[in-house]
């Protein structure tokens, strides 16, 4: 009985954890303008974000190419 309850609890925990991750959406784009606390980003493709939504931005540095 205890093993069944533990298995059920773990299954519920993983289901809730995965549903939280699936709610987050990823959008890609590039910064067009950044001045005085306002940033304009041009998105590539479709994104579910709307005006007023809070976002978290992760900056990715451009890769450098060196030649001989």
Would you say residue 24 lies in a domain?
A: yes
Residue 9 counted as domain residue: yes
Task: Evaluate whether residue 51 is within a structural domain.
Answer: no
pLDDT at 17: 64
pLDDT of residue 11: 82
Q: Name the residue among 29, 47, 48 with its Cα closest to residue 39.
A: 29
Give the range of the structural domain holding residue 10, as residue numbers without chain letter: 2-44
* Residue 35 domain flag: yes
Residue with tokens 């990823």: 26
Domain count of the fold of the chain: 1
Its pTM stands at 0.44
Q: Is 64 a domain residue?
A: no
12 within domain boundaries: yes
Percent of the chain with pLDDT over 90: 0
Determine the 3-state secondary structure of 41 from DSSP: strand
CA distances from 33 to 2, 13, 23, 38, 55 (A): 58, 42, 28, 8, 17
**pLDDT value for 29:** 84
- Per the CB < 8 A criterion, the answer to whether 40 and 32 are in contact is yes
CA distance 68 to 66: 7
Residue 62 lies in a domain: no
Residue 34 lies in a domain: yes
């Amino acid at each position: 009985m205890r093993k069944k309850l533990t298995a059920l609890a773990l299954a519920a925990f993983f289901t809730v954890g995965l549903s939280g991750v699936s709610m987050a959406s990823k959008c890609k784009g590039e910064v067009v303008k950044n001045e005085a606390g306002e940033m304009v980003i041009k998105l590539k493709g479709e994104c579910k974000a709307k005006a007023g939504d809070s976002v978290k931005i992760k900056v990715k540095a451009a890769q450098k190419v060196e030649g001989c």
